[in-house]
Structure 1
Amino acid sequence: MERDRQEAVVWRNRALAIFDRISLPVAVCDVHGAVLLANPAMAAECGTAPGRLRGRNVLELFRPQEATQVERIARALRLRHRSRYQVSVRWQADGAERYGELMADPVSDSVEATPMLLVMLRVQGEREAPRQARVRVAPVEAHILALLAGGATTARAARETGLSADGVTYHLRRLSARWQAANRTELVARAYALGVLAAGVWPPAATGAE
């Protein structure tokens, strides 16, 4: 009995090693679509690590293009039908919208047992996501944001820009309201995300202003 258990562990480890090396994106999900296990190729399509996919719903990661496909599959699984199911999906990866098919095979040790789903992703193509136009701000606002990103206080920002402390605060409040930023940390993060501040540059600098 102990020998059988050890052999089972060995084969399980071998299977997991093969699972991780498969170039095709593959995941094992429960019958509701929650990810139990994902290989690196599947995680790469989601821009994350395999462990971070655990518990995520595969149909939230890959959006179905037709709701009726999902409904038909749900009915078939409730009736314990054992077929390969396909869902046309879309998702974002590397700045582009990709599209393809999820193929799900119910698997279990017996016909009576609740199946798990072996899910494979077939990428069929991609469309480049439209580029977001860079947000432009007034030169003094860009200067203030760059100073804040470098750790400057309100007083220092006032000295550097020739404004009063109240003047600096006015511009920060104006930008915070415009970008719906809750605090200065979020305001600086938004400035980078919107292209107002140049990425990978130190000391922080604006990309351009008008």
Structure 2
Amino acid sequence: MDRKRAEAVVWRNRALLLFDRVSVPVAVCDVYGAVLLANPAMAAECGTTPGRLRGKDVLELFRPQEATQVERIAEALRLRHRSRYQVAVCWPAPGGGERYGELTADPVSDSVEETPSLLVMLRVAGEREVPVAPAVEAGPVERRILALLAGGASTAQAARETGLTADGVNYHLRRLSARWGAGNRTELVARAYALGVLTAGVWPPG
């Protein structure tokens, strides 16, 4: 029995040595996705060290492209299905930009009855630059004018509400259009929502 235990320790140490040296990003997670062990290649993809990855949720480190994929895998694991699961993911590249690829998870355990751990491997498919959003520059008066326009106000109504003249309203709108590259008022209001200057899902606009 002692000899078997000693042999098991030897093979475990060899496996850990291989785990650390393999160039493929690999981690062992519990059934809920918390990292138990990660190799240096996996840690490098996250811009950290293996020890700091311990306890992190692998699906927070690598963002799934489809939530339904994750739900199907979680249900399969609850039912103790032992298939190979693949999830399309993206994550911040250590040097900037965004990488994308695929996580492959294989349930592993010493017996069928045990709750499995997940052997997770990452395949890097490519990298893309993250577009830089234009600077959101809109003062309180400009924000108020945009909110009024989004609510259907005319130039004259916006002037009355803000205490400006019609020319004053048009001046602010021209400045915003030039700053955001908007061709007309409809596009200007759409840009304001896209940039977070106006809050989506709120009425009246604000």
Report the TM-score range of the alignment, normalised by the length of the smaller protein. 0.5 to 0.7
TM-score w.r.t. length of structure 1: 0.62
Partner Cα distance (2:96, 2:42) in 1? 17
Partner of 1:31: 31
Paired position in structure 1 for 2:117: 116
In 2, distance between residues paired with 1:133 and 1:46? Answer: 27
The DSSP-based 3-state class of the residue aligned with 2:28 is strand
Report sequence identity in percent: 81
Give the Å deviation of 1:130: 3.4
The amino acid of 2:34's aligned partner reads A
Please report how far the alpha carbon of residue 132 of structure 1 lies from its aligned counterpart in structure 2 after TM superposition. 7.6
Amino acid at match of 1:130: P
Q: Tell me, yes or no, if structure 1 residue 59 matches structure 2 residue 82.
A: no
Structure 1: which 5+ residue stretches go unaligned?
135-210
Aligned partners of 1:75 and 1:8: how far apart in 2? 33
Please state whether the residue corresponding to 1:114 is helix, strand or coil.
coil
Q: Counterparts of 1:51 and 1:130 in 2: how far apart (Å)?
A: 32
Q: Distance in 1 between matches of 2:71 and 2:45?
A: 25
Spell out, residue by residue over 1:54-92, the C-alpha distance to the aligned partner (whole angstroms, 9 max, x if none): 000000000001000000000100111110001110100
Q: Which amino acid aligns with 1:112?
A: E
> How many Å separate the matches in 1 of 2:106 and 2:24?
15
Matched with 2:81 is 81
Cα shift at 1:129: 2.6
Q: Which runs of 4+ in 1 moved over 6 A?
A: none
Number of residue pairs matched?
Answer: 135
Give the superposed CA RMSD. Answer: 1.7
* Paired letter, 1:125: G
CA distance in structure 2 between the aligned counterparts of 1:77 and 1:4, rounded to whole angstroms: 31
- TM-score normalised per structure 2: 0.63
Q: Structure 2, unaligned stretches of length 5 or more?
A: 136-206
Q: What is the aligned partner in structure 2 of residue 95 from structure 1? A: 96
